[in-house]
Structure 1
Amino acid sequence: MTNALHILVVEDQAAIRANIATYLEGRGHVLDFAGDGAQGLALALAQPYDLVVLDLMLPGMDGLAVCRALRARASRHIPVLMLTARDSLADKVEGFGTGADDYLTKPFALEELEVRALALARRHLLNTEQVLELGALVVDRQRREVRRDGLPVRLNAIDYRIVEALAEAYPQVMTRSELVWKIWGDEPTESDALRTHIYQIRRALDKPFDRPLLKTVHGVGFVLEV
């Protein structure tokens, strides 16, 4: 498999570990496993993993503590996909605040786990590039400029950051809560602020062209279709 990943799975439930192993190893990925947070942190710091799949509810050192310690001690950014039975916005915000890159709520489809893992690994590679090229869309991080079909797209600072975040996440959908956290963090913002910026982006990025790139996934969030 050309996109094979080296993945660390930190999960205390043996049945879930076995299911993940059967599916992902069958797809060509290489997996290591840890049954508790302390062991998972030690492995994550010692090996150059492409991704850590981290359960939130672990014995002893929980997933939040592992993620926080990993971000503080690792010499490079390792993408973290957190598994949780909690689906509230507050729990997700707390997880993102410790450095998690994505969330997957239990129970989950193994196919979705792989899709998210591949998307996170790809996003990590994109994060190291100064210029993101997605078809006709170019996001120049050094100059903080966006071009479409070679033409400049005029965006204010926040609109640019939203487009950059969506380009990093491509082809994955970003939920509204993920975008709000990415742009504003825990700073208070008006409830319709994101809607206003999405409207402005569409006027600049899509209206002058034949085909829209910024799509709404109703009830979920937004995605770029290039």
Structure 2
Amino acid sequence: MKRILIIDDAATVRMFHRGILEGAGYQVEEAVNGVEALEKALLTPFDLYIVDVNMPKLDGYGFLRELRNQNLPQVPAIMVSTEATADDRRRAYAAGANLYLVKPTRPDQLVAPIALLLGEVSP
């Protein structure tokens, strides 16, 4: 079973995403900020990361930059944020995101790209 780490400081967003992903058959863990997420990733790497931008301690951009500099399998990361400008998208991709989605996300907007990024479906 593929393991996904949801990184978001908002409990309601984590619960919403967890429900969608567990319903799609994924094993889900959560982190409330980039520091906690990095600690979890270093202990046991995940198959995919869903990352918020605005978080305390270490934001999503910082987390992705740190993650991409680790000697870990480099797996897909989807940044999900309320920030919707072209500059936000550029910063996310520069930090190492594979996809950028704007909140709120619909279940199909989350599950379809995850399956594609994990190689579970043909494009």
Distance of 2:40 and 2:112 partners within structure 1:
23
Tell me which residue corresponds to 2:116. 119
Q: How many residues align?
A: 122
Give how far 1:73 is off: 1.2
Query: Does the alignment pair 1:77 with 2:35?
Result: no
Which AA in structure 2 matches 1:7? Answer: I
How high is the TM-score relative to the length of structure 2?
Answer: 0.91
Tell me which residue corresponds to 1:99. 96
Distance of 1:22 and 1:77 partners within structure 2:
25
* Structure whose alpha-carbon radius of gyration is higher: 1
Give how far 1:84 is off: 1.1
Distance of 1:106 and 1:78 partners within structure 2:
22
Distance of 2:34 and 2:44 partners within structure 1:
15
Query: Does the alignment pair 1:16 with 2:49?
Result: no
Does the 8 Å contact 2:80/2:102 carry over to 1?
Answer: yes
SS of the counterpart of 1:24? helix
| Stretches of structure 2 lacking an aligned partner (at least 5 in a row) | none
Query: Does the alignment pair 1:33 with 2:30?
Result: yes
How high is the TM-score relative to the length of structure 1?
Answer: 0.51
**Cα 1:111/1:68, change in 2 over 3 Å:** same
Distance of 1:29 and 1:101 partners within structure 2:
19
Tell me which residue corresponds to 1:47. 44
Structure 1's consecutive aligned runs of 4 or more residues displaced over 6 angstroms after TM superposition are none
Which digits, 9 at most, give the CA deviation of each residue in 1:74-106, with x for residues without a partner? 322121111111111111111111111111111
Tell me which residue corresponds to 1:88. 85
Distance of 1:30 and 1:122 partners within structure 2:
16
Which AA in structure 1 matches 2:6? Answer: V
Does the 8 Å contact 1:45/1:74 carry over to 2?
Answer: no
Distance of 2:104 and 2:71 partners within structure 1:
30
Does the 8 Å contact 1:12/1:35 carry over to 2?
Answer: yes
Distance of 2:19 and 2:113 partners within structure 1:
17
Which digits, 9 at most, give the CA deviation of each residue in 1:115-145, with x for residues without a partner? 111111119xxxxxxxxxxxxxxxxxxxxxx
Distance of 2:13 and 2:71 partners within structure 1:
27
